[in-house]
């Protein structure tokens, strides 16, 4: 007996359902599926679900650029408002911002090389990165706090041991991380893990260490922080304007859009801007005084002996002009106006190479931005690549040519605590008390009281 064929068509059924109006015609499978898709698919309870909405049409290039421009503008205004609000509110808020910037930048740089570690399932790689960051920040922040606030730290019973043994504690913390790293080495991954170790230390040096000197600039006076930051931003803006206006000659291959004309033009405009901004900031002690009160702000101000670099001096011109020209033979100007020429020159000719370095790093890893921490701007490192080296230079230049090195209260206390015996420290107290009594600063009763207390001890 032969088996029936599965694909046999029954013509009489089709004929039976056919008619002039086509009312009895059965729908094909394609028609049924289309009808079902229009009506919706049945749910578990038997009801029909609504059909899915069609995806919106893709945005045009113009719409994308418009949206990016709007986002970039909004976040630019937010960053400007946050920066100036923090600067006027007090030094402590700027310190918090700098700390956040260096942590986010470190995270972005480390994230570039952390992807392979997750693929290899290596343990403790990410934890060690953050441990070394914390250790480095503890050492650097401790150095700054101890240096600028000795008169507070060294007289506190709890903080004194941490201050006197700060460097040893920091060293032991680092050694602990070093031992932990060696113990986490896994066979077959040695080269990769040592590469990660070197990458972490490079990030610590390029970001955290340089940010430490920016922190010191804040303690030395707000002008040494705000002025370098402003010069870099101004140079970047005018380099773009001059470049698109009359730029023709390519400057460096790693950054094809940079031109020699934009480079030189930005240098000139940065010098002019720096001279004008310095002239304004020198008039406020809030900007030129070192930090002696972390609670101070723009409205309360600061008080200090002004650094001579901000006091105008009269200089004789090298060539005396003829009398008929009515040109004066002398000029009165603050020495800071000469120093600003050096700051502006570095911000224009050297600091941009920090950005070129970052561009080369991104090209190496084939990424557009270091991250997306700032919407419309990319990562934090993309915005701060030139600021780190500029802040480093500012502190070194200030320490070498501008800072006035003199005895401070904290320095004297540190010398007395670390270099004198308790008996010698008592003699210092007696001597200072007697001197203050003779100067009429304190009454005689204070000296008698101190002498009686010291004898009992």
Inform me whether the pLDDT recorded for 10 exceeds 60.
no
Q: Are 332 and 323 in contact (CB under 8 A)?
A: no
Per-residue confidence band for 28, with pLDDT thresholds at 50, 70 and 90: very low
Say what the alpha-carbon torsion angle 234, 356, 241, 65 is, to the nearest 10 degrees: -110
Two structure tokens written together for 361: 């790093």
Q: Are 296 and 269 in contact (CB under 8 A)?
A: no
Q: From CA 166, how far away is CA 140, in angstroms rounded?
A: 10
pLDDT for the residue numbered 100 = 92
pLDDT tens for each residue of 248-272? 888 888 888 888 899 999 999 999 9
Two structure tokens written together for 417: 């605590």
Which residue do the tokens 């650029």 mark? Answer: 65
Least confident stretch, 163-167, 237-241, 304-308, 368-372: 368-372
Q: Are 340 and 354 in contact (CB under 8 A)?
A: no
pLDDT tens for each residue of 264-299? 999 999 999 999 999 999 999 999 999 877 788 888
Q: Are 416 and 428 in contact (CB under 8 A)?
A: yes
As a whole number, mean pLDDT of residues 307-331 equals: 82
Per-residue confidence band for 30, with pLDDT thresholds at 50, 70 and 90: very low
As a whole number, mean pLDDT of residues 311-321 equals: 83
Inform me whether the pLDDT recorded for 306 exceeds 50.
yes
As a whole number, mean pLDDT of residues 398-422 equals: 80
Two structure tokens written together for 138: 């503890």
Q: Is 385 buried (19+), middle (13-18) or exposed (0-12) by CB count in 10 A?
A: buried
pLDDT for the residue numbered 57 = 65
Q: Any long-range contacts for 30-34 (C-beta under 8 Å, 24+ apart)?
A: none
Q: Is 48 buried (19+), middle (13-18) or exposed (0-12) by CB count in 10 A?
A: exposed
pLDDT for the residue numbered 16 = 43
As a whole number, mean pLDDT of residues 328-354 equals: 91
Q: From CA 291, how far away is CA 218, in angstroms rounded?
A: 8
Per-residue confidence band for 114, with pLDDT thresholds at 50, 70 and 90: low
Which residue do the tokens 């007289």 mark? Answer: 155
Q: Are 426 and 450 in contact (CB under 8 A)?
A: no
Q: Are 274 and 344 in contact (CB under 8 A)?
A: yes
Q: In 184-312, which residue ranges form alpha helices assigned H by DSSP?
A: 190-203, 210-220, 222-246, 260-281, 285-288
Inform me whether the pLDDT recorded for 199 exceeds 80.
yes
pLDDT for the residue numbered 435 = 82
Q: Are 350 and 367 in contact (CB under 8 A)?
A: no
Inform me whether the pLDDT recorded for 130 exceeds 60.
yes
Two structure tokens written together for 30: 């394609």
pLDDT for the residue numbered 379 = 80
Q: Higher model confidence: residue 381 or residue 19?
A: 381
Q: From CA 70, how far away is CA 60, in angstroms rounded?
A: 16
3-state secondary structure of 255: strand
Per-residue confidence band for 389, with pLDDT thresholds at 50, 70 and 90: very high
Per-residue confidence band for 120, with pLDDT thresholds at 50, 70 and 90: low
Inform me whether the pLDDT recorded for 324 exceeds 70.
yes
pTM of the model: 0.74
384: nearest Cα among 225, 261, 233, 216: 233
397: nearest Cα among 309, 324, 329: 309
Two structure tokens written together for 345: 């020159």
pLDDT for the residue numbered 59 = 67
As a whole number, mean pLDDT of residues 328-345 equals: 91
pLDDT for the residue numbered 214 = 92
Q: From CA 395, how far away is CA 392, in angstroms rounded?
A: 6
Instruction: Tell me the pLDDT of the chain averaged across its residues.
Output: 81
The Cβ of residue 147 has, within 10 Å, a number of other Cβ atoms equal to 15
Inform me whether the pLDDT recorded for 21 exceeds 70.
no
pLDDT for the residue numbered 322 = 76
Pairing of strands 250-252, 255-259: antiparallel
pLDDT for the residue numbered 401 = 93
* Residue 217 C-beta-side C-alpha neighbours within 13 Å: 27
Q: Is 44 buried (19+), middle (13-18) or exposed (0-12) by CB count in 10 A?
A: exposed
pLDDT for the residue numbered 136 = 95
Inform me whether the pLDDT recorded for 18 exceeds 90.
no
Inform me whether the pLDDT recorded for 407 exceeds 60.
yes
pLDDT for the residue numbered 35 = 47
pLDDT for the residue numbered 7 = 47
How many residues are there in the chain?
457
Two structure tokens written together for 238: 């005018």
Inform me whether the pLDDT recorded for 31 exceeds 60.
no
Highest mean pLDDT among 84-88, 110-114, 367-371: 84-88
Which residue do the tokens 């003699």 mark? Answer: 427
Phi and psi of 333, rounded to 5°? Answer: -155, 150
Least confident stretch, 20-24, 37-41, 54-58, 403-407: 20-24
pLDDT for the residue numbered 434 = 83
Distance of alpha carbon 453 from the chain centroid: 51
Two structure tokens written together for 243: 């470049």
3-state secondary structure of 43: coil
∠ CA(81), CA(86), CA(92), 5° rounding?
A: 165
Inform me whether the pLDDT recorded for 163 exceeds 60.
yes
383: nearest Cα among 130, 83, 93: 83
As a whole number, mean pLDDT of residues 157-181 equals: 91
As a whole number, mean pLDDT of residues 94-112 equals: 90
């Amino acid at each position: 007996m032969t088996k029936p064929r599965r694909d046999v068509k029954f013509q009489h059924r089709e004929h039976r359902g056919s008619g002039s109006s086509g009312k009895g015609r059965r729908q094909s499978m394609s028609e049924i599926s289309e009808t079902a898709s229009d009506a919706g698919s049945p749910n578990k309870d038997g009801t029909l679900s609504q059909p899915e909405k069609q995806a919106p049409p893709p945005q045009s290039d113009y719409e994308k650029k418009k949206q990016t421009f709007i986002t970039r503008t909004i976040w630019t205004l937010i960053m400007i408002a946050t920066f100036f609000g923090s600067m006027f509110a007090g030094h402590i808020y700027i310190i918090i911002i700098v700390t956040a910037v260096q942590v986010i930048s470190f995270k972005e740089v480390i994230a570039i090389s952390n992807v392979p570690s997750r693929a290899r399932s290596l343990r403790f790689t990410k934890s060690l990165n953050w441990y070394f960051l914390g250790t480095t920040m503890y050492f650097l922040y401790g150095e700054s706090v101890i240096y600028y606030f000795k008169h507070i730290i060294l007289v506190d019973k709890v903080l004194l041991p941490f201050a006197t043994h700060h460097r040893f504690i920091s060293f032991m913390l680092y050694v602990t991380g070093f031992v932990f790293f060696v113990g986490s080495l896994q066979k077959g991954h040695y080269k990769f893990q040592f590469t990660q170790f070197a990458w972490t230390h490079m990030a610590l040096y390029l970001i955290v260490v340089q940010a430490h000197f920016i922190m010191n600039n804040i303690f030395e006076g707000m002008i040494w922080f705000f002025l370098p930051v402003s010069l870099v931003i101004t140079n970047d803006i005018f380099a773009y304007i001059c470049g698109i206006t009359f730029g023709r000659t390519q400057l460096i291959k790693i950054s094809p859009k940079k031109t020699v004309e934009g480079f030189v033009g930005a240098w000139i405009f940065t010098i002019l801007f720096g001279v004008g901004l310095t002239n304004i900031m020198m008039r406020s002690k809030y900007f030129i005084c070192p930090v002696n009160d972390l609670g101070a702000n723009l409205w309360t101000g600061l008080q200090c002996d002004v650094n001579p670099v901000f006091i105008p001096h009269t200089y004789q011109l090298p060539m005396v002009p003829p009398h008929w020209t009515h040109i004066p033979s002398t000029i009165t100007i603050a020495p800071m106006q000469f120093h600003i020429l050096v700051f502006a020159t570095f911000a224009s000719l050297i600091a941009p190479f920090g950005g070129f370095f970052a561009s080369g790093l991104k090209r190496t890893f084939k990424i557009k931005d270091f991250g997306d921490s700032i919407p419309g701007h990319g990562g934090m490192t993309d915005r701060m690549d030139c600021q780190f080296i500029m802040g480093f230079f500012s502190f070194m230049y200030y320490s070498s040519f501008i800072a006035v090195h003199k005895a401070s209260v904290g320095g004297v206390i540190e010398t007395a605590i670390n270099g004198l015996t308790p008996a010698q420290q008592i003699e210092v107290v007696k001597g200072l008390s007697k001197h203050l009594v003779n100067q009429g600063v304190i009454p005689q009763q204070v000296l008698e009281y101190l002498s009686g207390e010291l004898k009992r001890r």
